[in-house]
Amino acid sequence: MSLEQDKAFFKNFAFVLIGLSVLMVTFMVLGAMFGGGDDISASNTAAVMENTAPVAKVQIEGDEPEAPAMEESTEMAAAEEEHVGKTAYGSICVACHGSGIPGIPQLGDAAAWAPRIAQGNDILYEHAINGYTGSSGMPMPAKGGNPSLSDDDVKAAVDYIVSSSQ
Question: Which stretches of the chain bind ligand HEC, using CB under 6 A?
Answer: 88, 92-93, 95-97, 104-105, 116, 119, 123-124, 127-128, 133-136, 138, 140-141, 143-145, 149, 154, 157-158, 161
Shortest gap between Cβ of 82 and ligand HEC (angstroms)? 14
CB atoms near residue 145 (< 10 Å):
14
CB nearer ligand HEC, residue 37 or residue 102: 102
CB nearer ligand HEC, residue 23 or residue 138: 138
Integer Cα distance of 119 and 114 in angstroms: 9
CB nearer ligand HEC, residue 21 or residue 163: 163
CB nearer ligand HEC, residue 86 or residue 127: 127
Q: Are 117 and 124 spatial neighbours (Cβ–Cβ below 8 Å)?
A: yes
Nearest residue to 157 (alpha-carbon basis) of 81, 73, 80: 81
Integer Cα distance of 42 and 24 in angstroms: 31
Shortest gap between Cβ of 146 and ligand HEC (angstroms)? 6
CA-based end-to-end distance of the chain:
103
Shortest gap between Cβ of 91 and ligand HEC (angstroms)? 7
Integer Cα distance of 60 and 46 in angstroms: 26
Shortest gap between Cβ of 77 and ligand HEC (angstroms)? 20
Nearest residue to 137 (alpha-carbon basis) of 88, 161, 101: 101
Shortest gap between Cβ of 148 and ligand HEC (angstroms)? 11
CB nearer ligand HEC, residue 14 or residue 123: 123
Which burial class, exposed, middle or buried, applies to 106 when counting CB atoms under 10 A from its CB (0-12, 13-18, 19+)? middle
